[in-house]
Amino acid sequence: MRGGLTAAAPAMAPFSIQPMIGMDRLNGPDRPPICVALSGGGDSLALLHLAKAWADGAGRSLVALTVDHDLQPTNAAWSRFAAERAARLGVGHRTLVWRGAKPPTGLPAAARAARHALLAAAARSTGARVILMAHTADDLMEAEIMRRMGASTPSPRFWSPSPAWPEGRGVFLLRPLLGHRRADLRALLVGLGETWIDDPANDDPRFSRTLARRRITGSASAPAPPDELAPPAGWRAIQQGLAGEFTAPRELFAAADRRLIGALALCAAGTARPPTPVALDRIAARIAGDDFTSSLGGARIEGRGDRIQVFREAGESVRGGLQAADLPLGESVFDGRFLVAAHRPGYRVTPLRGHAARLRGIERERLKAIPAPARGALPTLISPSGGVFCPILAPHSAVAMAPLGLARLEAALGAVQDEATAHLGVSGGQAP
pLDDT at 317: 65
For the segment 291-307, the average pLDDT, to the nearest whole number, is: 95
* Low-confidence winner among 138-142, 198-202, 282-286 (lowest mean pLDDT): 198-202
**Is residue 7 scored above 60 in pLDDT?**
no
For the segment 10-14, the average pLDDT, to the nearest whole number, is: 42
Q: CA-CA distance, 118 to 351, in Å (whole number)?
A: 27
61, 261, 265, 359, 364 from 412: Cα distances, Å: 27, 11, 11, 35, 34
pLDDT at 322: 87
**Closest Cα partner for 90 from 12, 173, 148?**
12
Q: CA-CA distance, 379 to 352, in Å (whole number)?
A: 6
CA 122 to chain centre: 13
Q: Which residue has the higher pLDDT, 41 or 431?
A: 41
* Crossing angle between the packed helical segments 258-269 and 405-413, to the nearest 10 degrees: 150
For the segment 402-423, the average pLDDT, to the nearest whole number, is: 94
**Is residue 47 scored above 50 in pLDDT?**
yes
Q: Which residues lie below 8 Å from residue 175, measured CB to CB, with a gap of 6+?
A: 22, 132, 133, 134, 135, 156, 157, 158, 159
For the segment 349-367, the average pLDDT, to the nearest whole number, is: 96
Q: How confident is the model at residue 429 (pLDDT cuts 50, 70, 90)?
A: very low
Q: How confident is the model at residue 60 (pLDDT cuts 50, 70, 90)?
A: very high
* Pairing mode of beta strands 292-296, 299-304: antiparallel
Q: What is the mean pLDDT of the chain?
A: 88
Fold type of domain 23-214: Rossmann fold (3.40.50)
**Is residue 326 scored above 70 in pLDDT?**
yes
CA 315 to chain centre: 26
**Is residue 301 scored above 50 in pLDDT?**
yes
Q: Which residues lie below 8 Å from residue 361, measured CB to CB, with a gap of 6+?
A: none
For the segment 325-347, the average pLDDT, to the nearest whole number, is: 96
Q: How confident is the model at residue 431 (pLDDT cuts 50, 70, 90)?
A: very low
Q: CA-CA distance, 183 to 202, in Å (whole number)?
A: 15
pLDDT at 225: 80
Q: Which residues lie below 8 Å from residue 354, measured CB to CB, with a gap of 6+?
A: none
pLDDT at 5: 36
Q: How confident is the model at residue 201 (pLDDT cuts 50, 70, 90)?
A: low
pLDDT at 286: 92
- 217-274 per-position pLDDT tens digit: 666 677 778 888 889 989 999 999 999 999 999 999 876 678 899 999 999 999 998 8
Q: How confident is the model at residue 142 (pLDDT cuts 50, 70, 90)?
A: confident
pLDDT at 203: 59
Q: Which residue has the higher pLDDT, 92 or 430?
A: 92
Q: Which residues lie below 8 Å from residue 280, measured CB to CB, with a gap of 6+?
A: 258, 261, 262, 296
**Which residue type occupies 269?**
A
For the segment 115-121, the average pLDDT, to the nearest whole number, is: 97
Other CB atoms within 10 A of residue 252 CB: 18
pLDDT at 217: 65
Q: To the nearest whole percent, how much of the chain has pLDDT over 90?
A: 70
For the segment 357-369, the average pLDDT, to the nearest whole number, is: 96
pLDDT at 6: 30
Residues paired with 196 in a beta bridge: 2
**Is residue 198 scored above 90 in pLDDT?**
no
For the segment 10-32, the average pLDDT, to the nearest whole number, is: 76
**Is residue 371 scored above 60 in pLDDT?**
yes
Angle formed at CA 135 by CA 258 and CA 123, multiple of 5 degrees = 85
For the segment 129-157, the average pLDDT, to the nearest whole number, is: 87
**Is residue 14 scored above 80 in pLDDT?**
no
**Is residue 191 scored above 80 in pLDDT?**
yes
pTM of the predicted model, to two decimals? 0.90
pLDDT at 143: 83
3-state secondary structure the chain: CECCCCCCCCCCCCCCCCCCCCHHHCCCCCCCCEEEECCCEHHHHHHHHHHHHHHHHHCCCEEEEEEECCCCCCHHHHHHHHHHHHHHCCCEEEEEECCCCCCCCCHHHHHHHHHHHHHHHHHHHHCCCEEECCCCHHHHHHHHHHHHCCCCCCCCCCEEECCCCCCCCCCEEECCCCCCCHHHHHHHHHHCCCCEECCHHHHCCCCHHHHHHHCCCCCCCCCCCCCCCCCCCCHHHCEECCCCCEEEECCHHHHCCHHHHHHHHHHHHCCCCCCCHHHHHHHHHHHCCCCEEEEECCEEEEEECCEEEEEECHHHHHHCCCCCEECCCEEEEECCCEEEEECCCCCEEEECCCCHHHCCHHHHHHHCCCCHHHHCCCEEEECCCCCEECCCCCCCCCEEEEECHHHHHHHHHCCCCCHHHHHHCCCCCCCC
Structural domain boundaries of the chain?
A: 23-214, 235-316+407-424, 321-405
Q: Which residues lie below 8 Å from residue 245, measured CB to CB, with a gap of 6+?
A: 268, 309, 310, 311, 312, 371, 373, 374
